[in-house]
């Protein structure tokens, strides 16, 4: 992948992560939410092949709007598949800074032992994993995004067509209560 394309991907991923943090109630400046590709390049660089930006440069710490002591790290590990060694480094940093929540943006996933370590640390540390591919598009900004009330389950479940088999039961109130033909009624 060339530098231009990789820089664009990193910008989109970071932008989506900042929006996700904002949606969860964490303090994110409007400048961070509205950062253009050119501003991203000026801040972090545009030559990923030369380490500008390095993925670790994108790491961010955000504080919650309601409780500034409730902070969360967002880590961008360098290695494509994250192992337990990286998870331990992140947990050590979280422990040093007294932070219990983090998001990890991985390129290709995690090793089974790394995934298990997330489960083992769950009571003390909450680490959530996101594949960078999932973050290239913010689904809540899409035309038919997750927050679109027209596609929410609570709006679709009650809609049952009167011609549907399930509507053809006495409990539906759409038909008379008539015994089935195999029951004789005299």
pLDDT tens digits for the chain (186 residues)? 688 999 999 999 999 999 999 999 999 999 999 999 999 999 999 888 888 888 999 999 999 999 989 999 999 999 999 999 999 999 999 999 999 999 999 999 999 999 998 888 888 889 999 999 988 888 777 665 555 555 555 555 555 555 454 444 445 455 555 556 666 665
Give a yes or no: residue 180 inside a domain.
Answer: no
Tally Cβ neighbours within 10 Å of residue 115: 15
Calpha distance 146→150 (Å, rounded): 10
Calpha distance 14→17 (Å, rounded): 5
Tell me what pLDDT residue 123 has: 81
Max distance between CA atoms of the chain, in angstroms, equals: 90
Q: How many CA atoms lie within 13 A of 43 on its CB side?
A: 13
Tell me what pLDDT residue 155 has: 52
Give a yes or no: residue 143 inside a domain.
Answer: no
CB of 123 closer than 8 Å to CB of 117: no
Question: Alpha-carbon Rg of the chain, whole angstroms?
Answer: 25
Calpha distance 168→175 (Å, rounded): 6
Calpha distance 54→48 (Å, rounded): 6
Give a yes or no: residue 171 inside a domain.
Answer: no
How many domains does the chain fold into?
1
Look up the CATH number of the domain holding residue 75: 3.40.1340.10
Range of the domain at 109: 2-134
Q: Quick check: pTM over 0.85?
A: no
Contacts of 105 (CB under 8 A, 6+ apart): 13, 17, 74, 75, 76, 77, 130, 131, 132, 135
Give a yes or no: residue 144 inside a domain.
Answer: no
Give a yes or no: residue 72 inside a domain.
Answer: yes
Give a yes or no: residue 162 inside a domain.
Answer: no
Calpha distance 81→39 (Å, rounded): 29
Tell me what pLDDT residue 3 has: 87
Give a yes or no: residue 158 inside a domain.
Answer: no
Question: What are 17's two structure tokens?
Answer: 């992560």
Give a yes or no: residue 19 inside a domain.
Answer: yes
DSSP structure class, residue 26: B
Calpha distance 78→60 (Å, rounded): 15
- Three-state secondary-structure class, residue 168: coil
């Amino acid at each position: 992948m060339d530098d231009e394309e990789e820089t664009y991907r990193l910008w989109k991923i970071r932008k989506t992560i900042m929006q996700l943090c904002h949606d969860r109630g964490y303090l994110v400046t409007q400048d961070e939410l509205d950062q253009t590709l050119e501003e991203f390049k000026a801040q972090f660089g545009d030559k990923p092949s030369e380490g500008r930006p390095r993925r670790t440069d994108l790491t961010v710490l955000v504080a919650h709007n309601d409780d500034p002591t409730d902070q969360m790290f967002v880590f961008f590990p360098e290695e494509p598949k994250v192992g337990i060694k990286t998870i331990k480094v992140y947990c050590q940093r979280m422990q040093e800074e007294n932070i219990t929540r983090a998001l990890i943006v991985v390129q290709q996933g995690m090793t089974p032992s790394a995934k298990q370590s997330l489960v083992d640390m769950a009571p003390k540390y909450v680490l959530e994993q996101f594949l960078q591919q999932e973050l290239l598009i913010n689904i809540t900004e899409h035309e038919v995004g997750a927050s679109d009330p027209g596609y929410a389950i609570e709006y679709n479940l009650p809609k049952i067509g009167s011609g549907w088999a399930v509507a053809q039961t006495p409990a539906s109130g759409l038909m008379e209560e008539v015994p089935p033909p195999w029951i004789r009624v005299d």
